Structure 1
């Protein structure tokens, strides 16, 4: 392990990180294919490991009362892996400046790219809950202006009227180490009220996710949806928007 400005950098750190996973039955839908939420979970794990190896993980940042918060995400899917497939996930940082960063992720099976993803992150101060310039050095991370998706991450245009509405309460299993609802949970809540055939037919080609406001334990939320558009609100305020592309 190397030390840069009192920040631990592991000796096997590289600016592009790869890790293999075997798809287990617990990761799959009844049809045997990888759940869309598990795509996000696996991407979250790999991004976290890479940040840890490079000394900009949650624990490193907590020394400065900081944490990464996901703001936007786009996932493009050409094919879903299935049970027992051994997939490779690759990640790198595209941009990192002040309080903002774009991280790219890709999923491969036997050298074939199945899924591409770009994530837009913001550094927040965990005391004030406001954006904060990253306090840790990051020049050892080489930045790669390589796209992992065909279309850029964008702000979702929210429909004025929704057809359906569901309510739920944020429970303990929704909460992560940053003490708010984990970002994967928002997608899970929406897919739970989506058309089942759409989800299980492997027809989803892209997911656009906008995180607008954090949610906490015991919050009561409303999930509004119509067609392939979803909006999560709390007390009339928009918290999350999702667009599904078929």
Structure 2
């Protein structure tokens, strides 16, 4: 039995793009997450059904490869498939294509189910995971962990606003991307294109928290390391690969 794939089309509108004229990576990840939610609704595994059991899906890591970010008025196809799972982790793949079937972005993500009250990971219930027809495996993927920042090239501080909190009562993923990339200079962001990103979530951030975003830039290799902290606690790490826009 092969896992069920889900696809949906989306027309990019101008307010989903930034000053570069492309969709920000955080916004694009949000659109891919929406596709996975729509698949879950189609299969009857709604967020409401999971919430009634005191549970909620949480992403622990994304690995993203970017050929080209979509632009305003592009019609893109968002595809996703829950490929495999074990007792605690669900591995899901995503793909973004243009109207001609050209791959623009691909993403591999790791999900867990969290007990909302105890804030602990729980075993994946059979009735929740079965509808996806994903392959069961005992293997736990050993994905590369992003390295932490050692030599700070840039730093910014933010306070988590009420509007930053989503229905799961923690900071929406898109804000982590914005905080991380905003620590880079506008000159760098205007003249370089993101090609790869490995982002790992450690601890949740909550309303009112004061967060610090630090970046380490290796100009020779065009790589960056990113770190989000609240006090002494590491909340999110990422490594990025860039290329200069010609």
| TM-score of Structure 1 vs Structure 2, range by shorter chain | 0.7 to 0.9
Shift of 1:210: 0.6
Alignment of 1:241 with 2:237, yes or no, is: yes
Counterpart contact for 2:155–2:183, Cα < 8 Å: no
- String of CA shifts for 1:181-213, please: whole Å, max 9, x gaps: 111211111122223244334521111111000
Evaluate the alpha carbon distance shift between residue 50 and residue 58 of structure 1 in structure 2; reply closer, same or farther with a 3 A threshold: same
In structure 2, what is the Cα distance between the partners aligned to 1:113 and 1:202? 20
Find the counterpart in structure 2 of residue 24 from structure 1: 13
Mapping for residues 54-93 of structure 1, pairs under 5 Å? 54-93=43-82
TM-score by length of 2: 0.86
Please report how far the alpha carbon of residue 161 of structure 1 lies from its aligned counterpart in structure 2 after TM superposition: 3.3
**Once the 2 structures are TM-superposed, how far is the Cα of residue 178 of structure 1 from its aligned partner?**
0.8
3-state DSSP of counterpart to 1:216: coil
SS in structure 1 of the partner of residue 120 of structure 2: coil
> 1:78-137 deviations in whole A, cap 9, x for unaligned?
112211110001000121222211111000002111100011111110010000112351
Structure 1 residue 144, shift from structure 2 partner: 6.5
Aligned partners of 2:191, 2:74: CA distance in 1, in Å? 19
Written as runs of structure 1 = structure 2, the 5 A alignment for 1:103-114 is 103-109=92-98, 110-114=100-104
**Considering only aligned residues, what root-mean-square deviation do their CA atoms show, in Å?**
1.8
Q: Aligned pair count?
A: 227
Aligned match of 1:15: 4
Query: Normalized against structure 1, the TM-score is what?
Result: 0.86
Counterpart secondary structure, 2:132 = coil
Deviation at 1:218, TM superposition (A): 0.2
Any stretches of 5+ residues in structure 2 without a counterpart? 137-141, 218-223
SS at match of 1:91: strand
Matches within 5 A, 1:36-47: 36-47=25-36
Give the deviation of 1:166 after TM superposition. 1.6
